Amino acid sequence: MANNKILLTHGERLGIRDSATIQKADAFLRTLNSKPSSKTVSDTAKVVICLDLAAMNLGIPFDQEVALKLTSLRKTVYQNTLNNVQKILNLDKPISISELCVQFSCPEAKEMALTILKSYQEKDTKIKDIEHPQYAAAAVYTSCKLNGIKIDKTSLKLVSRLKVAEWNELVDEFSKFAAAVGLSGTKKRNIKKSAVTEDKIEEKDIYATTKAKDKEEVAEEYEVWRERILREASEEILQREMNE
């Protein structure tokens, strides 16, 4: 009963109010508390993470920013703790693109992400660990990037369970692959911004060229004036010498 009250309180703050998610989180929490290996996790972190896993399991959006505030954990620590709890509860199953799109609130990226991952798998048939979360995470990130959808890249990298260099290399490979197979999104805002930027650059180039020409003309006028003054001075000196 006490667990249920805590779950309801934290669920309210996380925007989770449906009974099905609360009940599943309660079941997870009871099982977790019965495992000796869970003693290293704080009580608050247990509650929040069980709510996170329940929401993920039922396809309910989950506010990770609020979760981080409630648990007072950094993103990396939170994700590692969540991964450990998944293993303790035997929930360490492959994460799908659909689940990631729900978790990161980007459902519009789902279809293209599925296409990217399927095409990538067909291209490289030697991949044996396609169920590893790195591929689903990279596909979702690439889809979001192509469609101009804002997403938390740091949290998505943590889901991939890759090191920074490995993650950057993988998403770069996925981006190049998507371009090679002709996949493109709708980044109208970025295109418009790019066009405006190009216009501004062109204007600056024209201004710089005009300014350079003006300076060149001024320099030429000065040289003409200088030569005339020197010539007139020479003629005047010569005239004086002749008169003497």
**pTM of model > 0.85:** no
User: pLDDT tens for residues 144-179?
Assistant: 999 999 998 888 888 888 888 999 999 999 999 999
Spell out the residues 6+ positions from residue 105 whose beta carbon is closer than 8 angstroms to its own: 61
Number of CB atoms found within 10 A of residue 143's CB: 28
* pLDDT over 60 (residue 185): yes
User: pLDDT tens for residues 71-114?
Assistant: 999 988 998 899 899 889 988 778 899 989 988 889 999 999 99
HEC-encoded secondary structure of 96-160:
CHHHHHHHCCCHHHHHHHHHHHHHHHHHCCCCCCCCCHHHHHHHHHHHHHHCCCCCCHHHHHHHH
* pLDDT over 70 (residue 137): yes
Contact 73, 81 (CB under 8 A): yes
**What are the respective helix, strand and coil percentages of the chain, to the nearest 5?**
75, 0, 25
The whole-angstrom separation of Cα 118 and Cα 224 is 73
**What's the pLDDT at 92?**
75
Contact 164, 157 (CB under 8 A): yes
CA torsion, points 187, 188, 189, 193, in degrees to nearest 10? 100
In which residue are the tokens 């095409």 written?
Answer: 119
Contact 22, 11 (CB under 8 A): yes
Contact 53, 21 (CB under 8 A): no
Over residues 2-19, mean pLDDT: 87
Confidence of residue 195 (pLDDT cuts 50, 70, 90): very low
* pLDDT over 50 (residue 188): no
Round the average pLDDT of the chain to a whole number and report it.
Answer: 81
User: pLDDT tens for residues 46-77?
Assistant: 999 999 999 888 878 889 899 999 999 998 89
* pLDDT over 60 (residue 220): no
* pLDDT over 50 (residue 193): no
The CATH homologous superfamily of the domain defined by 98-180? Cyclin-like (1.10.472.10)
Contact 40, 49 (CB under 8 A): no
What's CA 42's distance to the chain center, in Å? Answer: 30
Task: Tell the CATH topology of 2-93.
Answer: Cyclin A; domain 1 (1.10.472)
* pLDDT over 80 (residue 22): yes
Spell out the residues 6+ positions from residue 12 whose beta carbon is closer than 8 angstroms to its own: none
The whole-angstrom separation of Cα 81 and Cα 46 is 9
CA torsion, points 148, 152, 157, 163, in degrees to nearest 10? 110
Tell me what percent of the residues of the chain surpass a pLDDT of 90.
Answer: 44
Spell out the residues 6+ positions from residue 213 whose beta carbon is closer than 8 angstroms to its own: none
